[in-house]
Chain A
Amino acid sequence: MALRLSLAACLVVLSLSCTCDSDTKKDEEPDGAVGTTVAVTARIIFVEGNVRVKRAGSMEWLEAGKTMELATDDKLRTLRNSFATIKFKEGGLLRVGPESLVSVTDLRLEPRNQVRRFTFTLVEGKVEAELDTLEKAGSEFKVRTPSAEASVLRREVAFQ
């Protein structure tokens, strides 16, 4: 019994000392120390049927065309029997199916370490993403919907 009590006491003290340690680390590394990021663009490389783009802050739906660039907060809509394919400069594609509404939520790249953070919001319809393996720690590619968020897992490195 005494042994168990002493074990429990040790565990409590250990967990307390670990908590203190993590607090210290937090003080040493302030939040937001992720380096400078730059906004990047994605380019429409294919349009079929009726595809529209609404620029950030604008109310007007423009006819989408090949080579048109999309930036953060732009929206893209495809109507019936319409498709669009978006290509990222850093590699990767997003195919937008018919009757879809997609918003560009985040398109950022850290030039220092090539970490990329891409997020799209799919309000309705369907998208299919194709991108290279996320090998840089911190890189993320997400698709948000009204009911869920899908984020690509980074490839695990198996050590010898």
Chain B
Amino acid sequence: MSQPTKLLFWGLSVILLIGFSRSSQAEDRTKARPSQVKLTAGKTLEDLAEEYFNDPTAVDEIRSLNQLPQSAQPKPGTILKLPGQARELALTALRVAAQALEQAKADGAEEFAAEQLKLAVDKLNSARAARRGANYQGCRQLADETWALARRARQVSLARRPKKNRFAVSVDNQGATRVAVMEGDGVKVTAGKKSTTVKRGHAVRVKPGKEPEKAILQLPPPKLILPNDESVLITASIYFNWKSVAGASRYVLLISQDRHGLMPIRQLTTANTSYLFRSSLPDGKYFWFMRTVDSQGLVGKVSPPRRFTLRASSDGGLTVEPAPPKPTKEGK
């Protein structure tokens, strides 16, 4: 027998055997769970849900199936129908749909495919409502539609997401590594025998000789206060000020010659929410950005840049607030 034929033979045998075994298991379960049950004295619907389904949420379904009003408790001796095999299939479909939604969210759908994601979330809610109403066929159909919508949301998000990867790696003087992912498809961090995936907006720390710790959300950037955007500063001492961020242990201020931070010239670190920078910078246009650093030393997200023009060689010592925007050349 050739190799592919052999494989096909064994594959089919296994599938047949698994199928047979599953169907007999299903029969066992059906036998164990009757299609209807007589409510005995002292038992509630909640008890039945727990006993037969090990799931307190099944109580709504039992009520719906027996056309009982919400929060009604039938009398002892009442014969009650119980959900059958269709329930298991509906639950599986719901689980798969919920997983697809989580995957879409993980791939940025909340940000880049919000509309598509909302459709999927609404559909999932409808599927859950159908389940509560014991409409398992409808639930399955709605869950399948949720899955398709979540997949679509993920595709749209992947297509719209910026085609850039941006991440930072740092090593401190104790040898600990920190990785923060600002944009893109994520970074795999490996240490020892363990790897962890760090997604956009998350950061992770690895201590020397240890495995990566759990990736955590990056802290948001502080809200910038002073100097205002487009300020013209005629003093060499620049007062930077920003709002505090919960969880931040220090703040990093970066001054760059360009708005993308490609030409950084100063990096200032402080635990306070202000910094008086006695500048020795030449006159010119600069951008400043802020980041937070948490107690683990993990760097947070970067703030949008603000621009200032330094004209320290001129007289005075005042900060001139920006003039209303004009189509004229800047600095004039």
Contact = CB atoms under 8 A, between A and B. Distances in A.
Given A124-B171, A129-B167, A156 B179 contact: no
B143 interface: no
Interface residues of A, number: 54
Interface stretch (B38-46, B188-196, B271-279, B312-320): B188-196
Interface string A136-156: 000001010111111111111
A93 interface: yes
Given A46-B263, A95-B261, A147-B206, A158 B169 contact: no
A91 B293 CA distance: 29
Contacts of A158: 151, 154-155, 158
A42 interface: no
B86 interface: no
Interface string A32-51: 00000000000001101100
B190 A149 contact: yes
B267 A147 contact: no
Contacts of A6: 17
Contact of A146 (B163, B175, B186, B265): B175
A129 B166 contact: yes
Given A81-B266, A127-B169, A132-B164, A155 B185 contact: yes
Interface in A1-37: 3-4, 6-7, 10-11, 13-14, 17-18, 20-21, 24
Contacts of B173: 124
Contact of B167 (A81, A152, A156): A152
Interface stretch (B2-10, B64-72, B119-127, B134-142): B2-10
B170 A125 contact: yes
Interface string A81-105: 1010100000001010110000000
B264 interface: yes
Contact of A150 (B154, B188, B264): B188
Given A48-B263, A128-B168, A147-B175, A152 B158 contact: no
Contact of A128 (B17, B151, B167, B185): B167
Contacts of B190: 148-151
B185 A7 contact: no
A128 B166 contact: yes
Contacts of A152: 165, 167, 184-188
B187 A10 contact: no
A126 B168 contact: yes
B197 interface: yes
Nearest to B155: A158
Most chain A CB inside 10 Å of its own CB: which residue of B167, B168, B210, B264: B264
Contacts of A95: 261-262, 264
B13 A148 contact: no
Nearest to B207: A147
B interface majority secondary structure? mixed
A interface majority secondary structure? mixed
A150 B185 contact: no
A123 B10 contact: no
B221 interface: no
A17 B7 contact: yes
A151 B175 contact: no
Contacts of A83: 263-265, 267
Contact of A131 (B151, B154, B164, B169): B164
B188 A153 contact: yes
A31 to B, nearest CB: 22
A156 B169 CA distance: 23
A130 B261 CA distance: 11
B158 A150 contact: no
Interface string A50-81: 00000000000000000000000000000001
A153 B198 CA distance: 9
Interface of A: 3-4, 6-7, 10-11, 13-14, 17-18, 20-21, 24, 45-46, 48-49, 81, 83, 85, 93, 95, 97-98, 122-134, 141, 143, 145-158, 160
User: What 10 A-B pairs have minimum CB-CB distances, sorted nearest first?
Assistant: A126-B170, A148-B206, A148-B191, A148-B177, A145-B177, A128-B168, A158-B155, A133-B163, A143-B169, A153-B186
18 contacts: A4-B21, A11-B14, A83-B264, A97-B267, A122-B169, A126-B168, A127-B168, A130-B164, A130-B166, A131-B164, A147-B175, A149-B189, A150-B169, A152-B188, A154-B185, A156-B185, A157-B158, A158-B154
